[in-house]
């Protein structure tokens, strides 16, 4: 292996040139299990970040951070820069992949609220530092990542694949694409997009970065996500298509950022937006930073429609709650004999207490279906369509809220100790 690779992430076993890792796919995002200084944590693999960032650390998480100093970070959103710690010479491992000299930024509060949005504890995000040392093949459909040694990897012939050059700017990859907007008719316009595996949307476009880039006629205002500096606002809409080489993707959803978030995002002045995991998940993706290219091969999700949350409810994970579950136990003894009357089987009802997931409404978009029926911020969700909330994952809730236009949603919430029931229909606005 080259000396260069040894300076950062590399294979611990020098005889190995490949490592496969299984991942969780939650809301289109890749969650991988990392160890930092021996502590097992969950990280998002995010091609849109240049730094390794750690957050959501409690007193119980003894990470043993080394060589710490205070710094400030600026991110998307309308807020001020945030306090962070900078820590050098940390050890990170992912199976047979290791780095004993990782620089980590530690954000003292979870400004992203990623754990809330993902339905499980997320401790951080990692991108360039690990992606830059390997050729990384991501199989979204089968939830597997393969890390290959770039010095020994050979690409197989692939008739259905397409290779795209990437431009690296401040350790982030940019790709050229073409988009069609209803503001310019049937024409296509070239755009330079950040390849952002850490964004769950399909496409973000920055309005007025080219004269053709304007919000289409049909749109609605929404919270697009969270940045270091607070909520990211903008307009959600659709465009007729995006073209990546020979791949044409029809009617994708697109988010147009507000002017403040656009200003914070555009350190690279040629950038017109982002291509997120809502697009990337439709491909097998090879990230090849060492050779400055990305290769795509479409999978069976390629032609699936693009959906979005049609409730207006921003739901987040609210930690664990104690749930009382009823358990029925037969009164057979160990010899299969009944202790009750002949021909009768009785059951003893017992109860078990278990900690289960809880979900809270963090925000309600004005004039949305959820807002119109009276749902409010901080309502605790008890049931959705007769299914107890603690039996649902965050992915289940996301899919229910995206299902189809006019789908009926029945929701029971707890507000100030009272149970309240609401009913509305999903409303497709774009």
Element spanning 144, H or E: strand 144-148
134 backbone dihedrals φ, ψ, rounded to 5°: -140, 165
Tokens matching residue 374: 């009276």
Mean pLDDT value across residues 203-209: 91
pLDDT of residue 350: 56
Phi, psi of 218 (to 5 degrees): -100, 120
Confidence (pLDDT) at 3 = 42
Mean of pLDDT over the chain? 86
Share of the chain above pLDDT 90, in %: 63
- Return the CATH number of the domain spanning residue range 161-298: 2.40.70.10
pLDDT of 290-309, one tens digit each? 999 999 999 999 999 999 99
Q: Which two tokens stand for residue 250?
A: 């029809």
Please give the CATH topology (third level) of the domain spanning 3-148: Cathepsin D, subunit A; domain 1 (2.40.70)
- The pLDDT confidence band at residue 340, using thresholds 50, 70 and 90, is very low
Is the predicted pLDDT of residue 198 greater than 70, yes or no? yes
Domain boundaries, the chain: 3-148, 161-298, 313-425
Choice between 20 and 68, residue whose per-residue pLDDT is larger: 20
Claim: this prediction has a pTM higher than 0.85: yes
pLDDT reading at 31 higher than 60: yes
pLDDT in tens, 351-376: 565 667 889 999 899 999 999 999 99
Q: How far is CA 271 from CA 176, 237, 285, in A?
A: 10, 20, 21
Residues 246-296: pLDDT tens digits?
999 999 999 998 777 777 777 788 999 999 999 999 999 999 999 999 999
The phi, psi pair for 383, rounded to 5°, reads: -145, 145
- Cβ atoms within 10 Å, residue 211: 9
| Whether pLDDT at 349 is above 70 | no
**pLDDT interval class at 21 (50, 70, 90):** very high
- Determine the pLDDT at residue 62: 66
Which CATH class for the 313-425 domain?
Answer: mainly beta
CB 376 within 8 Å of CB 364: yes
Q: Chain-centre distance of CA 3, in angstroms? A: 34
Residue 140 has pLDDT above 70, yes or no: yes
3-state secondary structure of 251: coil
> Cα separation of 20 and 420, whole Å?
47
Instruction: Give the contacts of 128 (CB within 8 A, at least 6 positions apart).
Output: 47, 49, 50, 51, 171, 172, 289
Query: Which of 186, 187, 163, 184 has the alpha carbon at shortest distance from 175?
Result: 163
Do the domains spanning 3-148 and 313-425 agree at the CATH topology level?
Answer: no
Burial of 405: CB neighbours in 10 Å, binned 0-12, 13-18, 19+: exposed
């Amino acid at each position: 292996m080259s000396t260069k690779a040894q300076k950062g992430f590399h294979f611990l076993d020098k005889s190995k040139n490949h490592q496969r890792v299984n991942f969780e796919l939650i809301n289109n995002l890749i969650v991988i299990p990392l160890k930092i200084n021996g502590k097992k944590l969950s990280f998002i693999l995010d091609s849109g970040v240049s730094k390794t960032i750690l957050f959501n650390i409690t007193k119980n998480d003894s990470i043993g951070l080394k060589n710490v100093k205070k710094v400030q970070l600026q991110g998307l959103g309308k807020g001020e820069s945030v306090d962070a710690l900078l820590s050098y010479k940390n050890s990170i491992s992912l199976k047979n992949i290791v780095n004993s000299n990782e620089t980590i930024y530690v954000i003292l509060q979870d400004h992203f609220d990623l754990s809330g949005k993902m339905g499980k504890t997320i401790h951080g995000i990692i991108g360039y530092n690990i992606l830059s040392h390997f050729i990384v093949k991501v199989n979204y459909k089968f939830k597997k990542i393969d890390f290959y040694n770039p010095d020994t990897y050979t690409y197989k012939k692939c008739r259905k694949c397409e290779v795209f050059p990437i431009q690296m700017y401040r350790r982030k990859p940019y790709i050229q694409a073409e988009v069609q907007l209803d503001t310019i008719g049937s024409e296509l316009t070239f755009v330079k997009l950040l390849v952002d595996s850490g964004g769950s949307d399909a496409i973000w476009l920055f309005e007025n970065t080219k004269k053709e880039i304007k919000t289409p006629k049909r749109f609605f205002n929404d919270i697009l996500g969270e940045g270091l500096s607070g909520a990211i606002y903008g307009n959600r809409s659709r465009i007729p298509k995006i073209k990546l080489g020979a791949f044409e993707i029809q009617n994708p959803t697109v988010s147009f950022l507000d002017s403040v978030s656009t200003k914070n995002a555009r350190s690279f002045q040629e950038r017109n937006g982002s291509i997120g995991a809502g697009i990337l998940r439709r491909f097998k993706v090879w990230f090849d930073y060492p050779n400055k290219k990305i290769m795509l091969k479409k999978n069976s999700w390629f032609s699936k429609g693009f959906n979005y949350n049609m409730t207006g409810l921003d739901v987040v994970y609210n930690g664990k709650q104690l749930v009382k579950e009823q358990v029925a136990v037969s009164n057979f003894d160990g010899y299969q004999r009944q202790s009750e009357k002949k021909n009768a089987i009785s059951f003893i009802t017992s109860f078990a207490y278990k900690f289960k997931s809880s979900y809270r409404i963090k925000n309600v978009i004005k004039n949305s279906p959820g807002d119109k029926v009276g749902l409010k911020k901080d309502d605790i969700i008890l049931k959705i369509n007769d299914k107890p909330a603690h039996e649902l994952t965050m992915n289940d809730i996301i899919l229910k809220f995206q299902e189809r236009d006019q789908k009926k949603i029945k929701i029971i919430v707890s507000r100030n100790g009272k149970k309240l029931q609401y009913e509305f229909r999903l409303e497709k606005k774009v």
